[in-house]
Structure 1
Amino acid sequence: MNHNTPLSPRPLRHLSEVHRRVMTAAQLRSHGVSTADANDQCRPGGTWQQILPGVFLLHPGPPTGEERLHAVLMYAARESSPGVPAQPGADDPHRPVYAEAMITGHAALALHGFTSAPPLLSLETLDVLVPRLRRLRSTGPARIVRTAALPTPQHVAGVPVAPVPRALADAVSGLADAGAVRRLLTEAVRGGHCEPASVVRELNNAKLLSRPHVVDAVDSLLAEGRAIAEDRLYRMVSESGLPDPVWNVDLRLPGGPHLGGLDAYWPEQAVAVELDTRAPRQGLRHDDDALWSEYARKREHLERLGITVVHITPKKLRDSTEQQATVVRTALMASADRDPAAYVVVLPR
């Protein structure tokens, strides 16, 4: 069979450019190419090559980075029905659909734009996330990573990619270098890819918080995340025209007990803002629950004294700054209609 002969009367225009260069055995059969013919093309001196079991590269040269990504996904993806490959979606006819498979780990972070992740072309293997019960083995450029529940993938350059927190956990699982772990986690937060709590939750689910070098990196991550959230809070108050509060204070009853620390407080209106930067730390859900109970007890105590507490998460500050400023402004305006709050002592924290 001549390499330039059309594969079959079935048109190829529904396929993306890369899918004219990388195809599965099932796709080739759907275009009239038998397995025997495909294998003949892959003999020494042939014009094709088999890059993974059942996946063919339809040219003799080395695969590009894009071809490797799609080859790994073709190998790992579950076909929609026996012998029939999943077709592109109606919303994007040139984007292939890969059922139950997505790129994760370092390759996913590179696709998400992480500068601290190795470049795609430097990776000998690409991590691909699949359901735990899939019968697949790691081979060639494909490293199989299993999970009980697949996350919803994000699409980057036409490739399904694990969300950043999950990709980070899969990348960190293979790292023993504390500096490399810290750089990845710091870039995730500083670059605005995700919030610290979501990263720590994935590390916790992956049982990585028992590793000392990961715990050290998490400590830096949480400190970085709080600093970024505090900066966003400062900018929200300034840019929204809210009156200046007192920042980072402790409240006490005169001659009485400590009431708790607050990130911002308006004494005349008795309105407080508290940033919620909780994250599970030791793999125990009740630790997180206990910290939330502490938040709730403090809030209830302050509100019994007539102090309004506005609870804001770093994610809300990032994604809906104007809405959070409106919540604070409404609380400040409503103070005129409330009974005066109890007198409290305000101390720097």
Structure 2
Amino acid sequence: MNNTPLSPHSHPLHRLADLRGRVRTTAQLRGLGVTQAETSEQCRPGGPWQQILPGVYLLHPGAATPQERLQAVLLYAGRSHDAAGVPAQPGADKPHGRAPDAVITGLAALALHGFASAPSLLSLDHVDVLVPRLRRLRSTGCARVLRTPALPVPVHIAGLPVAPVPRALADAVAGLADASAVRRLLTEAVRAGHAEPSAVVRELSRARLLNRPHVVGAVDSLLAEGRALAEDLLLRMVEEHGLPDPVWNVDLRLPGGPHLGGLDAYWPEHAVAVELDTRGPRHDEDALGSEYARKREALERLGITVVHITPRKLRESLEQQAAILRTALMASADREPAAYVVVLPR
């Protein structure tokens, strides 16, 4: 019979010191052989562990780091571990792996996305986390639970599942009453290229936030900011790619006839126009879409080629958009002459 005593380092409590990550759930600790009684003993006042959220433990004394707090919130909201009982830390889910069952959103997500106008992770009182609507889970401690019919496809940042910027903005704005804070966040989203204005407005509309006066004002600024940036990119495209100079921001009319519509750029000698599509998906989106279509059809009946360009296309493929426009300008020589129209400043 072998009476050799077991090494003290063979105990699960000692093995935990060698694990990566210092945040664990009750189930994960149990899977590692740590009983509930041992967990309670470690969490006694002055002990080496602490309970940071119900069923979630920080395996060291002192304050949690921002990363640990985010991990704790995800573990509380998701409680994910694999069938073998081996801990699966938040972030183990990759874009092509199993979908996460909780996603960081709101101001914490914006901080992770790098928003300078979002509070730092250290200063946040709580972390917003999205869970499926049917989950029976309450907000508690630093975890604020937000239910949703369907989780968004997350972006993985520092190994954590994070809501895309438009969804994170909508969830953040829903909890903000400060008009200037809302305006700063929405403006940064566009200026820094984090998201398309239309995608942001779509999420705000889906969250039924467009009826709040301070949000409406911020959205107007957002769309104006998006248009200004798109106009700058359009000017840059013409200059950098050697396109002929157009007349900028004009209205077209038939001689003595009706107004045909406004255009961002127009080449009269080629009868080619550019219209920036910076629509935001508000309640009158269908009406706006019909107006765009009617204007385009009316101009093309007169022999004017209309090139629609979105801000996203300008930002992501400026050279390609320049090539499309150059092709339209060159093709004008092969078309029938366009009807005469009056060009007026807009």
* TM-score when normalising by structure 2: 0.91
The equivalences for 1:171-190 within 5 A come to 171-190=172-191
Does structure 1 residue 42 correspond to structure 2 residue 43? yes
Q: Radius of gyration: which is bigger?
A: 2
Corresponding residue for residue 64 of structure 2: 63
Residue 329 of structure 1 aligns with an amino acid whose one-letter code is R
Q: What is the rounded CA distance, in whole Å, between the counterparts of 1:260 and 1:98 in structure 2?
A: 47
Unaligned runs of 5+ in 2: 1-6
2: CA distance, partners of 1:320 / 1:52: 46
CA change 1:58–1:8 in 2 (3 A) is: closer
Q: For the residues of structure 1 that align with 2:53 and 2:92, how far apart are their CA atoms? A: 25
Structure-1 residue corresponding to 2:334? 337
Matched, 1:194 2:195: yes
For 2:78, the aligned partner's letter is A
Equivalent in the alignment of 2:295: 298
Q: How is 1:220-239 mapped onto 2 (pairs within 5 angstroms)?
A: 220-239=221-240
- 1:73 touches 1:128 (CA, 8 Å); kept in 2? yes
Name stretches of at least 5 consecutive residues in structure 1 with no aligned partner. Answer: none
Q: Per the alignment, in what secondary structure is the counterpart of residue 12 of structure 2?
A: coil
**How far off its partner does 1:280 sit?**
2.4
- SS of the residue 1:114 aligns to: coil
Tell me which of 322, 340, 347 is aligned to 2:344: 347
Cα distance in 1 between the residues matched to 2:9 and 2:339: 85
Q: Could you tell me whether the CA contact under 8 Å between 1:270 and 1:306 is conserved in 2?
A: yes
Secondary structure of the residue aligned to 2:321 is helix
Q: Give the superposition deviation at 1:268.
A: 1.1
Is the 8 Å Cα contact of residues 77 and 101 (structure 1) preserved in structure 2? yes
Aligned pairs for 1:260-339 within 5 A: 260-281=261-282, 284=283, 287-339=284-336
Provide the alpha-carbon RMSD of the alignment. 2.5
The 8 Å contact of residues 179 and 214 in structure 2, kept in 1 or not, is answered as yes
Partners of 2:297 and 2:17 in 1: CA distance:
65
Structure 2: how far apart are the matches of 1:198 and 1:46?
48
CA contact (8 A) 1:169 1:199 kept: yes
1:227-266 aligned at under 5 Å gives the runs 227-266=228-267
Distance 1:145 1:91, change over 3 A: closer
Which aligned segments of 4 or more residues in structure 1 are displaced greater than 4 angstroms?
Answer: 2-6, 8-13, 80-92
Letter in 2 for 1:256: G
Deviation, 1:81, is 5.8
Quick one: percent identity of the two aligned structures? Answer: 73
- The answer as to whether partners of 2:25 and 2:79 remain within 8 angstroms in 1 is no
Contact 1:86–1:98 under 8 Å retained in 2: no
1:154 correspondence with 2:159: no
User: What is the aligned partner in structure 2 of residue 7 from structure 1?
Assistant: 12
